[in-house]
Structure 1
Amino acid sequence: MFRALSLAALLATPALGDEVWDSAQGPVVYEEDTGGAAVLSFTHPNGYPARLVIPGLAGNYQDRAVHRAFWVGQGPGTCFAAMSLGGQPSHDWGEALISFDRPAFPTSFTLSLGDCFGPMTTSFRALAR
């Protein structure tokens, strides 16, 4: 009985990279967990590749809601200070807010983005595959 429950739990939990959403900007991919944060890759509406870092979401597939986050892009950016992610400094970054539709995987979300420390002025929908 315990084996069957364990197997069912494993089958219900996605592996990193298996969680993908479709958006107007292209795919959004759950890349990795690091330091308690989930890291997703996406194309920012400015057209450059970016990564979304969601503190506290690492390994959380059952209790998703609205989460504060930040993004770091590969564009030229306009921020006065650089943010570094993975050892590569960037002047293309900002705050973000990810709002999942439902608490459990799979679920779609709305992502709101701001530039640097400015207000969130851009948003887009990402639909679970």
Structure 2
Amino acid sequence: MHRLILAAALALTTTAAMADETWSSDMGEIVYLDEQDGAAIFTFTNVDGTPARLVIPGLAGNYSNRDTHRAYWTGVGPNNCGALLSEPGQAPSANWGQALISFDKPAFPTSFTLTLGWCFDPLSTAIRAETNAR
């Protein structure tokens, strides 16, 4: 019984932290949307003004030991890449690239810098995101 209560409390804490994570950037709001297969999924507006999703493998459930994480993004904008990339539950996209997210502090809440590249090109564009948590 105690294990069930502990598991329920942990699930509520994790869901609350994830739901509270939003950031403001020059491109608009960035939202911690979901967790899938060990990856955290953020939504944001890409530098080309189109909706995009950031997939950060290994970040799901990590609210207290964040650092710099390799990631990738997929978008719905123009088809810039010569190959399709898909993520679970999403349509394949030819608008994607590599990403690097660098959190300012290891624990929630914290701001971050997101650096993006197109397709396999080097990372070339930075987006600064300030936490909205109080």
Q: Which amino acid aligns with 1:38?
A: A
The structural deviation recorded for 1:78 is 1.1
Q: Are residues 1:99 and 2:72 paired?
A: no
Q: Deviations over 1:31-71 (max 9, x none)?
A: 00100000000000110000000000001000000000000
The structural deviation recorded for 1:77 is 2.5
Larger proportion of strand: 1
> Counterparts of 1:80 and 1:30 in 2: how far apart (Å)?
29
> Counterparts of 1:10 and 1:72 in 2: how far apart (Å)?
28
> What's the RMSD between the two structures over aligned residues?
2.1
Between stretches 28-37 and 9-18, larger displacement belongs to 9-18
Q: Which amino acid aligns with 2:97?
A: G
Partner of residue 50 from structure 1, selected from 41, 47, 52: 52
Number of the residue aligned with 2:41: 39
Number of the residue aligned with 2:69: 67
Unaligned runs of 5+ in 1: 1-5
Aligned residue pairs, count? 125
Q: Are residues 1:121 and 2:124 paired?
A: yes
Q: Deviations over 1:58-92 (max 9, x none)?
A: 01000000000000001013100011132301110
The structural deviation recorded for 1:124 is 1.0
Q: Runs of 4 or more off by more than 4 Å in structure 1?
A: 8-13
- After the TM superposition, which residues 9-20 of structure 1 pair with which residues of structure 2 at under 5 Å, given as runs? 14-20=16-22
Number of the residue aligned with 1:79: 81
Larger proportion of helix: 2
Unaligned runs of 5+ in 2: 1-5
The alignment's TM-score, normalised by the length of structure 2, stands at 0.85
> Counterparts of 1:96 and 1:19 in 2: how far apart (Å)?
19
Q: Partner of 2:33: helix, strand, or coil?
A: strand
The alignment's TM-score, normalised by the length of structure 1, stands at 0.89
> Counterparts of 1:104 and 1:87 in 2: how far apart (Å)?
29
